[in-house]
Structure 1
Amino acid sequence: MVEFKLPAFYTTPLTQIILVGITCFATVGMFSAVSNLGAGGTQDVALSDTSQGVLYGMFALTGLISGGINNLLGPRLTLFFGTLGYALYVGSLWCFQTQGTRWFLIFAGAVLGFTAALLWSAQGSIMMSYPLEKDKGKSFGIFWAIFQFGSFLGSVIALAINIRSGSLGSVSTSTYIAFIIIIFIGIASAFLVLPPNRVIRSDGTIVKLEAASKVHEEVVGMAHLLKDWRMIALLPMFFASNYFYAYQGAVNAGMFDGPTRALNATLEGAGAIIGALLIGFCVLDNTWFGRRTRGYLGLATVVVMTIIVWAVGLSWQVTFDRADAKAMFDAGTLINYKDDNYKGKGALYFFYFFSDACYQALAYWIMSALTNDPFTLARFAGLYKAVQSAGSAGSFGMDATATPYLNEHLASWILMLTSYPLAFLVIRTIKETNYEDEGVVYVDDVKKAAAEEGQHHDAPTGADEKTSIDKSES
């Protein structure tokens, strides 16, 4: 079948990353936005925690094979199937709000856990493999900023409602309809993403000649992945990467009133966007240093941020516990953003998510520095999300059993700190470039070979001329 020639700008890695960012903004971002509307908009914290626990448990199981599924189906179909669970989940929230169907919300959480693993494997493969080596930090920053803007937007909506009414009650039907419409736009946008064999980097190289792999290749690839000591060394970092969300959300819900919770969530979104852009552009892709040195600088940045931000959080955490939070709730004295004792709390939540974005950026950057192969990176992304989700499930389980805030804080902090020495060992193995070992294929060479064989339609489309660039600068 003859493929239509695409505009050159459309086949670039940057365009594809922006498209994936839009897909995640409209699906994952809206899911996060709804989560900011008070226990997922349900006002039932116990039910929300149960649904989240089921979601992340299923996510963890599916993540082990989601990379292989992406490689077999291709990123377009994988993204499409991955987005469907978000529509079902928000629909189940709406159904619970109007009909009180608790079982459907838990079922939707399980379905979303399965589909989300597919989406994030496809996203990880595209974000880590499509750009040039010198652009992988910037690619994360751009994607994360677009994706987190969805959560930021939902937080602003919640803040506006709270400030107007003084509280955030049940989410209206019109609000759910608006979220679902946006999610369906995100589902449709998945079909705009190109497979790796049609993406052409600025140096004229094709990301991958093949659009998809085969079943036996995925079985062998997964076996090799689980035997790679570098992946084993990164498991603690993966496990800790979302563990702290349950603690931060619990304190936000327990200590602050409605308007202030919404304000904190808005500051979280802003911190995530700014943190991702700064570390991506200014540290991980800094042109003044070699690639391994940039990895060390990224690790140092994350370590310093973790120590300072969480130490400040600890200094506040030791002044209260769950009993204090309950007493404040009963007395109607939860912290408001206008109160004197709110000073510094908003900044803490901003930097919690600023440092979180830096942490996520470093994890993705390390994986992307180990190889440029999109199929391998899809497996990396699947494993990353599987272990990350296992950590999330465990942390939500801790919170559901009313574990003391201080214990949750220390567990989150210690898990991060213990992961850094192992991450350092992996960074030590990073090469300045993988192009020489893995080889690259130029689109002009493919076109020439196709022309000689009389198979013009097999050549990737979208670029007319190869742009020359020194590989050492890539």
Structure 2
Amino acid sequence: MTPEQKKLFNIIVLGLGFMFMFTAFQTCGNIEQTVIKSFNSTEFNGSGYTSMSIIYGVFSASNLVAPSVVAVIGPQFSMFFSGLLYSAYIAMFIHPYTWSFYTASVLVGVGAAVLWTAQGNVLAINSDNHTIGRNSGIFWALLQFSLFFGNLYIYCAWHGHEHITDKDRQTVFISLTVISLVGCFLFFLIRKPDPDMSSSEVTESLIHAEQIEDSSDSSTPSSLGSQAVDAFVQACKVSVTKEMLLLSFSIGYTGLELTFYSGVYGTCIGAMTRFGEDAKSLIGISGICIGIGEILGGGIFGLLNKNNRFGRNPVVLLGLVTHFVAFYLVFLNIASDAPLAPEAGTNREAFITPSVGVALLCSFLLGFGDSCYNTQLLSIVGFLFRDKSAPAFAVFKFIQSIMAALAFFYSNFLLLHWQLLILIISGILGTLTFFLAEWKAQSLRETDYSSI
């Protein structure tokens, strides 16, 4: 196997590992609030929105130290141990208690920061300037297959169920826990890239970059403690660069819309009694449609646009237009109180007679638009900060997760039309600032990127 084939193999294994893990976790997040409403236990009074807000809040704070963890134990073990925390969170739903629910939320927030920082590091180490777009697309498409398989299972398991019983819940979450564990162990198949010039520079920079550039005693061997401190300092420095400050608005938007499509919109569909007795199982079909949109977008803009001939801006603009069409249709089709409705659901109409077909079309558009943003953000961050990949992706996830935490928090209180207004305003701002960052990247394409 040539060095290039080995790197491609690593990207595929990385994508498959995340596909299994997030088949379980994203399905869990999609049905979580609906499942919690069906609980018949006086020992449990948690909120799915609150749990996800805790996860993303802790996720955000933990991103400040995640590069240090990856620097000390390496990306492979970082992903494995973080994956175990995801599995524990899913397993908690088999016999849920309020204390275990919120404790697991905190732990998975910590694990998420380490997991995604390590993922960004593996992606950058196994890519170069010519393959970062392709590899981002491959990873994103494989990851989004998780939405297809997990939600297809939910549809089949809950078809015709107006109420989710304890047995229904336990069967689903035992299966999801096993699927998550399979993804954890797949990470051990990732191989260390052959030591060529680009990969060795990337690996070295993860631990020693700031020492080499700034420190007068760079020849002194670093202890594990100093490696951790170096990684933290790098993350702080990356976060205040002009490029990252510009990208922070578009990254923040992806956090807000992540909350909407992964937690709020599925809950809205399940709460619409005018969709009939299969409204609960439609949550699964909605997730499948989101996944199809994500996979299609990842394939088109990652695999088929290898040379990035037209730049990233047209793709991001397409994502904005797609999302705005989706938001408008959701506004017309879904009742404004659907995110906050009790288990019995809402019998209200919006501005048109509720249509299952329109609801599922919106799911597809939400997924397609999300892939437009995320594939291009993964590509530009990996491109601009390839020599500091772990700190850069830690900052990426810090911004994204803190906005997702904020969105899950206000989802407990705001009606649907107010949530859509927030998404529209942040989407416009994020797209304009992405344009500026991409133009800056284009102007630097022929220069030495190690100075960034």
Give the distance between the partners of 1:438 and 1:242, measured in 2 at CA: 27
Change in Cα spacing, 1:327 to 1:371, as seen in structure 2 (3 Å) is closer
1:204-219 equivalences under 5 Å are 205-209=197-201, 210=203, 213=207, 214-219=227-232
Partner of 1:358: 372
Match of 2:329 among 304, 309, 312: 312
Match of 1:406 in 2: 417
Q: What TM-score do the two structures reach when normalised by structure 1?
A: 0.78
Q: Does 1:417 align with 2:434?
A: no
**Residue 139 in 1 paired to residue 135 in 2?**
yes
How many angstroms apart in 2 are the aligned matches of 1:177 and 1:389? Answer: 27
SS at match of 1:208: helix
User: Counterparts in 2 of 1:198-209, with a 5 A limit?
Assistant: 198-199=193-194, 205-209=197-201
SS, match of residue 79 in structure 1: helix
- Is the contact between residue 52 and residue 396 of structure 1 (CA under 8 Å) also seen in structure 2? yes
1:141–1:277 CA contact under 8 A, matched in 2: yes
Aligned in 2, Cα 1:369/1:95: closer, same or farther, shift over 3 Å?
A: same
The answer for the alignment partner of 1:175 in structure 2 is 172
| In the alignment, structure 1 residue 258 sits paired with structure 2 residue 269 | no
SS of the residue 1:321 aligns to: coil
Find the residue that maps to 1:131 and give its secondary structure: coil
Aligned to 1:390: 402
* TM-score when normalising by structure 2: 0.82
Q: Could you report, residue by residue, the CA deviation over 1:164-206 in whole angstroms, capped at 9, with x for unpaired residues?
A: 54654443434333222222222222222234xx346xxx654
1:258-277 residue CA offsets vs partner (Å, 9 max, x unmatched): 12222112211211111211
Q: Counterparts of 1:55 and 1:327 in 2: how far apart (Å)?
A: 23
Q: Which residue of 1 aligns with 2:145?
A: 149
Aligned to 1:463: none
Larger Rg: 1
Residue of structure 2 in register with 1:449 after alignment: none
C-alpha contact 1:370 1:430 (8 A) present in aligned 2: yes
Q: Deviations over 1:97-133 (max 9, x none)?
A: xxxx211011001000001110011112222442232
1:232 to 245, 252, 260: 245
Which residue is equivalent to 2:67? 67
Distance, in Å, in 1 between the alignment partners of 2:339 and 2:430 is: 32
Change (3 A) 1:189 1:328: closer
Q: Distance in 1 between matches of 2:103 and 2:161?
A: 33
Q: Is the 8 A contact 1:9 1:15 kept in 2?
A: no
Identity across aligned pairs (percent)? 19
- Deviation digits for residues 328-349 of structure 1, max 9, x if unmatched? 94677999xxx97323221111
The verdict on how the C-alpha distance between 1:341 and 1:310 changes in structure 2, with shifts beyond 3 A counting, is closer
Seen in structure 2, the aligned counterparts of structure 1 residues 435 and 17 have a Cα distance that, compared at 3 Å, is farther
Structure 2 distance, partners of 1:334, 1:297, is 36
- Give the gaps of 5 or more residues in structure 2: 40-44, 208-226
Deviates more, 1:103-112 or 1:49-58: 49-58
Worse-superposed segment, 364-373 or 297-306: 297-306
Q: Would the aligned equivalents of 1:68 and 1:378 in 2 still touch at CA under 8 Å?
A: no
> What runs of 5+ residues in structure 1 fail to find an aligned partner?
1-6, 440-474
1:139-170 CA-partner distances (Å, limit 9, x unpaired): 12211222222232110011112325465444
222 and 265 in structure 1: CA distance in 2 versus 1, 3 angstrom threshold: closer
Report the alpha carbon displacement of residue 385 of structure 1 after superposing the two structures with TM: 0.9
Shift of 1:325: 8.2
Aligned to 2:182: 185
Superposed CA offset, 1:254-294 (max 9, x none):
325212222112211211111211121334x246x2xxx41
Mapped contact 1:11–1:199 kept (Cα < 8 A): no
Q: Which residue does 2:358 correspond to in 1?
A: 344
Aligned residue pairs total 411
